Amino acid sequence: MAKKVVSTEKKVNANAHIEGGGILVDQKITETLEKNYMPYAMSVIISRALPEIDGFKPSHRKLLYTMYKMGLLNGGRTKSANIVGSTMRLNPHGDGAIYETMVRMSRGYQALLHPFIDSKGNFGKAYSRDMAYAASRYTEAKLDPICAELFRDIDKDTVDFVPNYDNSTTEPVLLPATFPTILVNSNVGIAVSMASSICPFNLKEVCETTIGLLKDPEYDVSQTLKGPDFPGGGLIIHNQAELNKIYRTGRGSVKVRGRYTYDKQNNCVEITEIPPTATVEAIMDKIVDLVKQGKVREISDMRDETDLSGLKLTLDLKRGVDPDKLMAKIYRMTPLEDSYSCNFNILIGGMPRVMGVYEIINEWTAFRTECIKRRIYFDLSKKKEKLHLLKGLAKILLDIDKAVKIVRETEEESEVVPNLMIGFGIDEAQAEYVAEIKLRHLNREYILKRTQETDQLEKDIAEMEEILESPKKIKGIIIDELKEVVKKYAQPRRSLFVYPGDEEEEKEEEEIPDYPVHLFMTQEGYFKKITPQSLRMSGEQKLKEGDQITLHVESKNTAELLFFTDRCQVYKSRACDFDDTKASVLGDYVPAKLDFDEGEKVKALVVTEDYKGQVLFFFQNGKVAKVPLSAYETKTRRKKLTGAYSDKSPLVAVYAGLEDGEYVITSSATRKLLFHSSMLLPKTTKNTQGVAVMTLKKNNFVVSAEPFDENTFANPHRYRTRTLPAAGALVREEDLGEQLKL
């Protein structure tokens, strides 16, 4: 429940008081959300974050309409600060938010396939995270010529107008765009509980697809709509099934990779195009990290050479490096290849709808049809009005002198119109029109010329009425306008396609040097990887004070490492992820290297090359869990698995092996138990509690577990068991030996 507080404060000039003021009342959470949160959420969805069928969010539309009313479609540029200030009449937000909206629509920013604002000055760059745009007082802007298609016939009642926030002027609800702008320029927005992400398509392809659907509702859009076309270019990994899914449902993803060229003379790779979701700085940061980790060793230097001519990221290569193999690795490991997620969420009649390309074009066609009908009806009304006036003027032809006589003999000006109405049998509008004719026009030639327009007007009116009644003719008008747009503004594709062959679909495995290594793990969590040659030439192992080596394994550089921690988690890595080192150094501190949780420590290390065999987990409560090592194998290269073993009792020891063997368990009551691991059945679940192996009395617990060695006991049969669980036997004096240290 939420507490609702009613204020008890009274103002001196208050005319009324709040009933029940100062009383705390219970209010249901659902009621609070409904009254307070839902209006905010709806406002964000409808009036801010999601685009409408004309392709614009309210902030975009208000800015462009303000520039249109400022005469910036055909005039020269003006300071951006002037535009921002004027836009505040429609958009009551801060100048910073308005200017940022303007920047993103500008030609200089390069975020749109067809920019709406022709800019001059530094507007930043969409592909750069750090390149800031200049202040609005330094830059200039005007509307791009393509905006003529957005505002065509807007003054002919093609769209509805509503009052602005303070009722001082009006603004359009939508813009009567003559082509589907919603699909031509990208649009991304995050609302409350929903989002929208619309990828851009080539203008010519969109218009041709729309024409195809207008002619045939069953038209296959993939014939003309080849795929997205991003402003920054790049290479699209062609996947027709995924594209068809986007066309049908409006959801899916497109893989885009950057484009590069190899300069053989200077032995360098020049990246000139990147995916729309990446920035130059993000790609450089990732490459630097890979070089530091030793995963990319082929690059000797990297430079950002972006200038006025465009984006350029140069990678200097070491001698003998294959540039294509290197770039294939960089594609896999950096944002130079990324996915663009599509979510075509658009407001239709104030309701958000996720639609595919088919539905979007159909909705746009319905919207554009209504705009054309309203335009024709507007022109029709004007022509009918003019025809009506000219018919009144035609009656004057019968007797011009009579009209002059009526005007001259009328004593009061207010009686002129009524007397003309009576004298010629015309209505008030016609009489008013006749009365307003200038004296110089009271001649037969002028009146004959005006009345000759009557026949043309009647033809035009009949043609317009015929169009209004014929959906086919309205579609013909839309098609003609689309063809005109293509002729004026079409551009070649910027994003090209890569058609992967079967051999390219299989991801190339990273080449890992394979050589023998010695792996060391210490009690404090330090890890060393030392080559046999280095180990032979080394002296004593350098360790932290009080630390000791708990594991020494001979393996290979390609081996998989499983670090089990005291938080029932396992961190997966590979021996090749650690640098070769020497005995004279401490080694890598594993919790820092693998980014453990705060305070988490290594409990055990298991080394494997093929995930064959099993792992034995020994717990303080006397239970032992036998889990196949394959349970920790994953298809993807996951770095961390939770629930790696049971948390019901503290872990004492972990051992892994290909074959079963004998193990010795020691309890706090100085009892020892020798058993064979084949007596345990493996469990498929990693966090199984295991099987009771050693029975313990109250307050007793297992203190250690280790593989059995023939030299451990003088008489091993005393401690060996054939049934589980077992209590074990008290240690005899002749069997203590080195075990005293436990």
* Residues assigned a catalytic role: 138
Nearest to 198 by CA among 29, 409, 380, 341: 341
- Token pair in block for residue 224: 């003309």
Give the 3-state DSSP-derived string for 168-220, with helices as H, strands as E and coil as C.
Answer: CCEEECCCCCCCCHHHHCCEEEECCCCEEEECCECHHHHHHHHHHHHHCCCCC
Helix (H) or strand (E) holding 705: strand 702-707
CA–CA dist 592, 515 (Å, integer): 26
Query: Angle at CA 285, nearest 5°, toward 284 and 286?
Result: 90
DSSP state of 46: I
Sequence-ordered strand ranges (E) for 251-378 = 251-257, 259-263, 268-273, 299-304, 313-317, 337-343, 345-348, 351-354
Residue keyed to tokens 């609005």 = 136
**For residue 237, what are the β-bridge partners?**
498
Dihedral class, residue 402 (left if φ above 0, else alpha if ψ from -120 to 50, else beta): alpha
Cα 726 to Cα 67: distance, rounded to the nearest angstrom: 88
Q: Are 156 and 149 in contact (CB under 8 A)?
A: no
Q: What are phi and psi of 198, to 5 degrees?
A: -110, 120
Contact 571, 606 (CB under 8 A): no
**Using CA atoms, how far apart are residues 570 and 328, in angstroms rounded to an integer?**
31
Q: Which two tokens stand for residue 416?
A: 């002129």
| Cβ partners under 8 Å of residue 302, min gap 6 | 284, 287, 288, 313, 314, 315, 316
271 closest CA partner among 285, 260, 257: 260
Burial grade of 694 (CB within 10 A; 0-12, 13-18, 19 or more)? buried
Q: Do residues 448 and 397 make contact, with C-beta atoms less than 8 angstroms apart? A: yes
CA-based nearest residue to 494, from 215, 127, 213:
127
User: What is the radius of gyration, based on Cα positions, of the chain?
Assistant: 41
Lookup: tokens for 588: 């890598």
Find the helix or strand (DSSP H, E) in which 42 lies: helix 38-44
